[in-house]
Structure 1
Amino acid sequence: MSTNKKELFSGQSEELLNILKNRFEKNMKRHEGFEWTEIKAKLDINPEKLWSLNEMEISGGEPDVVAYDKEKAEYIFIDCSEESPKGRRSFCYDREALESRKVHKPQNNAVDVATAMGIELLTEEQYRELQNLGNFDTKTSSWIVTPAEIRKLGGAIFCDRRYNTVFTYHNGAESYYGARGFRGALRV
């Protein structure tokens, strides 16, 4: 990865595109009717998106195409790893939460890491839609976008899947756990 631009070297791009194509072909139920050649064409003209997908991949997210926004003509990649991505766990919710901790601070926060990666935390709706494609977060949980009213009061929300049901919970935004990370979405 070059230091100034968020672009991959040619070899890195080819390797990542092969990983994404293989995942795409193995999981057709996630994106019936989509064509890999169309998705690749969008990635070819948006190298910064490929950089973000690589960040998702190397942190354990296993990104895959799960939707298409017809209005904006964009494919939507989401982390499809079975559990919350390993490289993005043990983070509190946001910078304010991180700065509020006096002792035992986590390494980072979900909102800032997502922003640095060029992705967005999933909304509750996106999280529930993902769960229609499989069983995700059966042992872990994932921070999701928290409504401003909840965040203003010091809270943040997260989701997981237990007992074949998707649950939405709350916690103090400054909390962090080894089994809680975050999933991201990227529009291409």
Structure 2
Amino acid sequence: MAVTHKQELPEEQGTALLKTLRVRFEKNMSRHNGLEWAKVQAKLEANPEKLWSLSEMEKTGGEPDVIAYDEETGEYIFCDCSAESPKGRRSVCYDREGQESRKEHKPENNALDMAAAIGIEILTEEQYRELQELGVFDAKTSSWVKTPAEIRKLGGALFCDRRYSKVFVYHNGAQSYYSARAFRGLLKV
């Protein structure tokens, strides 16, 4: 379910966020070799609703950064690059169905609804593995990933983490949630 955001940041917040993103971009050039910040910033300034989504990613602890440029679409791809799963998105079930199926101790939210509200996509297993090529992520935590319909229909959901220098994919009931599990998001600008 895609949500279109018409929300924009107040100018001061937008300026502060652009500065934060620029500093992170320049500090982590290995994630986006050959890309220029000025072009990224121009795209962001032309798409204020995307800047709002990046602000939400930042507020929830995602530390978004550019990880790729899609030549075909002309889009920059931002991803949550926090070392561990974003703190402000932890302790959530996979989706609303999983959340509502809990008889007790229901969490306040779920990964898919949170991603939609922020205006981002939850990472697929393939995207998660590609992110892990850029650094070490989720060495102590784990992240829900987009689950194939056939697994979800049977009540399951997938999550990934990195242990022993390898990326692992696991399964859990979609209604489960843990204090060390969140989700990572992707935003195309």
Match of 2:134 in 1: 133
Unaligned runs of 5+ in 1: none
2: CA distance, partners of 1:5 / 1:147: 30
User: SS state of the match for residue 93, structure 2?
Assistant: coil
RMSD: 0.9
**Residue 100 of structure 1 pairs with residue 123 of structure 2:** no
1: CA distance, partners of 2:45 / 2:6: 16
Q: TM-score, normalised by structure 1?
A: 0.97
Shift of 1:68: 1.0
2: CA distance, partners of 1:131 / 1:18: 25
2: CA distance, partners of 1:18 / 1:83: 22
Q: TM-score, normalised by structure 2?
A: 0.97
Shift of 1:5: 4.2
Unaligned runs of 5+ in 2: none
Match of 2:78 in 1: 77
Match of 2:88 in 1: 87
User: SS state of the match for residue 143, structure 1?
Assistant: strand
2: CA distance, partners of 1:73 / 1:18: 23
Q: Which runs of 4+ in 1 moved over 4 A?
A: none
1: CA distance, partners of 2:71 / 2:152: 31
User: SS state of the match for residue 136, structure 1?
Assistant: coil
Match of 1:8 in 2: 9
1: CA distance, partners of 2:78 / 2:158: 22
Shift of 1:102: 1.1
Shift of 1:72: 1.0
Shift of 1:117: 0.1
User: SS state of the match for residue 166, structure 1?
Assistant: strand
Shift of 1:107: 1.3
2: CA distance, partners of 1:182 / 1:18: 25
Question: 1:66-101 deviations in whole A, cap 9, x for unaligned?
Answer: 011111110000000000000000000001111111
Q: Kindly, what percent of the aligned residue pairs are identical?
A: 71
Question: 1:105-127 deviations in whole A, cap 9, x for unaligned?
Answer: 01110000000000010011110
Match of 2:46 in 1: 45
Match of 1:113 in 2: 114
Match of 1:26 in 2: 27
Match of 1:153 in 2: 154
Question: 1:158-182 deviations in whole A, cap 9, x for unaligned?
Answer: 0000000000000000000000000
Q: Aligned letter for 2:83? A: E
Which is further off, 100-109 or 47-56? 100-109
